[in-house]
Amino acid sequence: MSDDAAGLLTSRPGQPSQAIAPGTSPIGLGGARDGLLHVPASLAGRSSVPLLVMLHGAGAAASDVLPLVSGAAGDHAVAVLAPDSRGATWDVIQRAYGPDVRFLDAALAWTFARLPVDPTRIAVAGFSDGASYALSLGLANGDLFRDILAFSPGFAAPTRAEGRPRIFLSHGRQDPVLPFERCGDRLAGALKQAGYDVEYRPFSGGHVVPSDLVEAAFRRFLA
């Protein structure tokens, strides 16, 4: 089985060969569905950059999910890579790992060529289907991702368990899209039982990402 079919990412941080200015830039690798790299002004002059990979929900795009975390990213000096899925949602949710893994690997390589990313401070995050994909990729690529930030996930489908990434998981008790008991609550219990370091933050609300929980997730990531 190839790495991409197994959901495995091979790109790793190195010495950047190009510069990128602060702001939000298209990745320029994917045509109509591409992605964004957000470099807050607070990162100017930094020789070591934390990176958050942020994954959108079904039917959405990078431009929909980036605003959920851009404020906290600026406050905490974290770069954000937000790729678009190749289809309406992420590959393993539609059928199997493959095209989205390949694109994310290429987007990571593109990012690593432009930013001095700290290899010990890389997290993968997502909302809804993006949270399910973040858990799936994060658990299988714990040698790359130190942290997983999952906002209202539905499931996790890693092909392997690699490393021991820390997990922040939040879910609304009144979620009408991905039911609380069957999704977030079940996942949090299973991950804790498997021995992962899980910070579980259920909240009163629906299928949303409360700003205070974004702040809490960033603080855990950077602790």
Looking at residue 1, its pLDDT comes to 67
Placement of tokens 């997990």 in the chain: 167
Q: Is the pLDDT of residue 165 over 90?
A: yes
**Domains of the chain by range and CATH?**
23-222 (3.40.50.1820)
Looking at residue 219, its pLDDT comes to 98
Looking at residue 43, its pLDDT comes to 96
| 126 beta partners | 55, 150
> Which among 133, 129, 104 is positioned nearest to 37, based on CA atoms?
104
Q: Is the pLDDT of residue 106 over 70?
A: yes
> Which among 80, 21, 93, 27 is positioned nearest to 53, based on CA atoms?
80
Band the pLDDT of 40: cuts 50, 70, 90: very high
Full-prediction pTM beyond 0.95? yes
Measured distance CA(84)–CA(7) in Å, rounded: 16
Cβ atoms of residues 183 and 152 within 8 Å: yes
* pLDDT tens-digit readout, 187-215: 999 999 999 999 999 999 999 999 999 99
HEC assignment per residue over 63-101: HHHHHHHHHHHHHHCCEEEEECCCCCCCHHHHCCCCHHH
Give the pair of three-digit tokens for residue 210: 């409360």
Placement of tokens 């000096």 in the chain: 77
Looking at residue 2, its pLDDT comes to 82
For residue 73, give Cα distances in angstroms to 33, 69, 81, 169.
Answer: 23, 6, 11, 18
Indicate the SS3 state at residue 39.
strand
| 54 beta partners | 125
For residues 7-17, give the mean pLDDT.
96
Which of the pair, 30 or 55, is modelled with greater confidence?
Answer: 55
